[in-house]
């Protein structure tokens, strides 16, 4: 996005809200947990980051196996419910791990994280993908026969499964883009700071 380009009003609003996080981020960076992480920056942040990255493999691996089952490309010796029961707890556990390690990275480097467009877009997509996962698992537990016999065969179900996987892939790309937020041009408050 070229820096001079005009933005839709709604997105300008989002940019403004993200930009207004700066005083909060600056305050957070003076708190003792943040100061502790900053003082041990040489090992603490890389260690937390490594756990966060390991969590990505579990999240993506679990989602991938459920998506492959929905597409009918793998795990056909198990029912959809069995597949979800097998990989669902891994997904839930890994998401809690990502939340904990992600929060620690925010506390350790608040100004770097909280005023980036990539971080907030990523958080929005994490929330959206989590809601989709919860709704899917609840619906599957309640209507497992209907899922097995009718829904899994529908083209729209397969399309939604692929779209969900793409949302998770975008989350990974946005996680990396936090460090390169300037790519968003004028959408990024961090580029102006």
Chain residues in the site for ligand HEM (CB under 6 A): 49, 52-53, 56, 59-60, 98-99, 102-103, 105-106, 109, 112-113, 126, 168, 171-172, 175-176, 178-179
d(CA 115, CA 83): 39
Shortest spacing between CB 126 and ligand HEM, in angstroms: 5
For the stretch 122-160, what's the b/e string if a residue is b when 16 or more beta carbons lie within 10 angstroms of its beta carbon? beeebeebeebbeebbeebeeeeeebeeebbeeeeebee
Alpha carbon distance, N-terminus to C-terminus of the chain: 17
Smaller CB separation from ligand HEM, 129 or 152: 129
Q: Whole-number minimum distance, CB 29 to ligand HEM, in Å?
A: 13
13 vs 61 by CB, closer to ligand HEM: 61
Q: Cβ distance 96 to 103 under 8 Å?
A: no
For residue 174, the surrounding DSSP H or E stretch is helix 155-177
Least distance between ligand HEM and beta carbon 154 (Å):
26
Tell me the closest approach of the beta carbon of residue 78 to ligand HEM, in angstroms: 24
Max Cα separation, the chain? 57
* Between 14 and 95, CB nearer to ligand HEM: 95
- The crossing angle, in degrees rounded to 10, of helices 44-71 and 80-108 is 160
We find the least distance from the C-beta atom of residue 102 to ligand HEM, in angstroms, to be 2
User: What gap in Å lies between CA 188 and CA 100, rounded to an integer?
Assistant: 25
Token pair recorded at residue 13: 């609003």
Residue closer to ligand HEM, measured from CB, 63 or 140: 63
């Amino acid at each position: 996005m070229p820096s001079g380009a005009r933005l839709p009003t709604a997105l300008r609003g989002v940019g403004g809200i993200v930009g207004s996080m700066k005083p909060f981020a600056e305050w957070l960076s003076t708190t003792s947990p943040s100061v502790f992480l900053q003082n041990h920056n040489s090992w603490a942040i890389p260690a937390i980051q490594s756990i966060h990255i390991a969590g990505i493999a579990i999240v993506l691996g679990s989602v991938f196996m459920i998506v492959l089952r929905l597409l009918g490309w793998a795990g056909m010796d198990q029912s959809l419910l069995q597949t979800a029961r097998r990989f669902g707890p891994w997904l839930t556990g890994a998401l809690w791990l990502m939340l904990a390690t992600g929060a620690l990275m925010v506390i350790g480097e608040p100004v770097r994280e909280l005023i980036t467009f990539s971080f907030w877009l990523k958080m929005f997509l994490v929330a959206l993908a989590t809601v989709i996962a919860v709704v899917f698992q609840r619906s599957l537990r309640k209507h497992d026969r209907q899922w097995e016999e009718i829904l899994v065969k529908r083209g729209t179900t397969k399309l939604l499964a692929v779209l969900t996987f793409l949302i998770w892939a975008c989350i990974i790309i946005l996680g990396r883009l936090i460090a390169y937020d300037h790519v968003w041009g004028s959408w990024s408050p961090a580029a102006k700071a």
